[in-house]
Amino acid sequence: MWLCNSSIGRKVVMSVTGVALILFLTFHMAMNLVAIFSGEAYNMICEFLGANWYALVATVGLGALVVIHIVYAFWLTMQNRAARGTERYAVNEKPKNVEWASQNMLALGIVILLGLGLHLFNFWAKMQLPEVLHMLGINVDTTYVADGVYHIQNTFGCPVYSVLYIVWLAALWFHLTHGFWSALQTLGWNNKIWFERWKMIGNIYSTLVVLGFVAVVVYYALCGSYC
């Protein structure tokens, strides 16, 4: 199958899954911003997106997108390194017109992956997971599973977590600013007129998404410590 066997096919898979994940991040950011204006409204959203069947299906689908994106990222990276062979050791100068993020996408991806693990530990493992375990008949505490504000306060009220999240979001910004226009270029929107436009649009869009997440972290970090 060309999506697996060809370099172009693998890049298409990376691009499509990347765009899908950017759309999810946009939704997630918009949802999180609600917590700044109304804790009650945010908790209603959390309850709606709990262990209901549609939320579970979406979670499985999202997990599949993340896994596919990561696997193909490593696959393409190893392929590119193998193609360069020993020549990559002979390059001492930074190539011109090549962004820092482009050269460090793997490192940024690893930081993002570690941040994702931290995020799952602080939220998913304390919200949706207990609900699922309770549905399976396992005795777990479900007191705060739908209280998203409670978990946000406990997480971002801790300075260590707040700093780690901001570092994670900074890495995400670099990853998104490059990935956004790179994905569109792979999908064919790469003519001379639109290439620079998509780069600018991608930078602005990625900045707004990341700033939305940062706003929640900073807001609850300044509200008081719950550690």
Cα–Cα separations (whole angstroms), residue 140 to 2, 7, 112: 46, 46, 30
pTM reported for the whole predicted model:
0.85
pLDDT in tens, 66-105: 999 988 888 877 777 776 665 544 444 554 555 676 677 7
> Percent helix, strand, coil in the chain (nearest 5)?
80, 0, 20
What does the DSSP 8-state code read for residue 130? H
- CATH class for the domain made up of 2-223: mainly alpha
How far apart (Å, rounded) are the C-alpha atoms in residues 112 and 18? 13
Q: In the chain, where are the structural domains located?
A: 2-223
Burial (CB < 10 A; 0-12, 13-18, 19+), residue 192, is exposed
Total number of residues shown for the chain: 227
- Least confident piece of the model among 116-130, 140-154, 169-183: 169-183
Q: How far apart are CA 174 and CA 164, in angstroms?
A: 16
Residue 106 pLDDT more than 50?
yes
